[in-house]
Amino acid sequence: MAKPTDAWFGQAFGKAWKDKAEEIGRFNLAIFGKTGVGKSTLVNAIFGEEIAATGIGEPVTRAAHLYLHQSGTLGVLDTRGLEVGKDNATLIAELDDYLHGMRRRPLPEQVHVAWYCVRAGDRRFEPSEADFVRALHAMGLPVVMVLTQVPTSRGKVHPDAEALAASIAAMDLPIQDGLIHYTMAKADEFTGQAAYGLQGLLDATFRGAPSGVAHAITAAQQIDFDRKRERAEGAIKVATGAAAAAGASPIPFSDAAILVPIQLGMMASIAVTYGISVERSTAASMAATAAATTAGRSVVGNLLKFVPGAGTAVAGTINATIASTFTYAIGQAWVRVCERLARGDLRAVGGTLDSDRIHRLFMDEFKAQATRKSLPR
């Protein structure tokens, strides 16, 4: 049974997480191609398995041929019951009507990029598919062209895939960067075929999407941890500056809990950026900080004593340097935890969070960062 003190922290972090998720918004990807080209496998390889677990999604048109799957900062628009190339007129009419309506909505509710997928093994790209790609472009959607399930040998793409790509390129289609992306979404241990092409596809998606959804793409994708780290560093920088401003007029330790909302907002932003659900990140944050307090005082007191120069702060005041160092160290330590969680680590038997390992990792990194930040430069 949760203690009232635990409930306070959980509720405060959960609210901060939801506020940040709403601020970051959602990236909506439309994905098209014939049946069996590997669309779901490709989406799951870049964005994780959550979309697959959501089923067929919600119908967004009266005829129920377009479905939007939503999971956190990602939405995927897919088709059901119609085949690209065979039912182009019906599908384009529904899609045009839907896109026209959603353009009056806020950016997170719009569709931002389309992937058009062609299986390399089909060795054929039909004129009706080219017409569909042109129609997508005419409706204002940036189209990223993807060849799926493309085998390689000794670093070379299969000649049939190159021939197919050349035939598509010859059509001079309005596709993102004029490029056709070779991909293999899943490695095959039996044949030794490695997965590849996913980073290039993700990069093209960033280039095609509006800048306003770049953070949402960063949060949704699960393969580019450098981008996640860059966003997390930005959140830490903002929070560190806010903490320094709060400490510009020294804070009595009895009032040190005023730093907690700044730090919770930072931690929530980092958790959303790494794609950690509100439930898992709330539990992990409580384990990391050993947070059990009705006002955040024990969190501050338990951690602040590890910040060099803050030894007397418990009995006195917290200045700008201590406040910023304290916040910076929390942010860096929390990034370490979130990155490990995003990679599937820090789990106990049965898949539950390993609270002890989370706490040790957080505290070790917190102490190291607090010491490093406090050293003379």
pLDDT beyond 60 at 330: yes
Residue-wise pLDDT tens digits, 277-315: 999 999 999 999 875 343 444 555 556 666 665 555 545
In 3D space, the residue among 275, 167, 168, 178 whose CA is nearest the CA of residue 220 turns out to be 275
Contacts of 109 (CB under 8 A, 6+ apart): 26, 28, 102
Domain boundaries, the chain: 25-220, 224-373
What is the pLDDT, as a whole number, of residue 143?
Answer: 98
More confident residue, 166 or 2: 166
Mean pLDDT of the 342-349 span:
90
More confident residue, 291 or 341: 341
Residue-wise pLDDT tens digits, 106-138: 999 999 999 999 999 998 999 999 999 999 999
pLDDT beyond 80 at 60: no
H or E segment and range at residue 242: helix 225-246
CA distance 357 to 352: 12
Read off the tokens for 301.
């007191």
25-220 homologous superfamily: P-loop containing nucleotide triphosphate hydrolases (3.40.50.300)
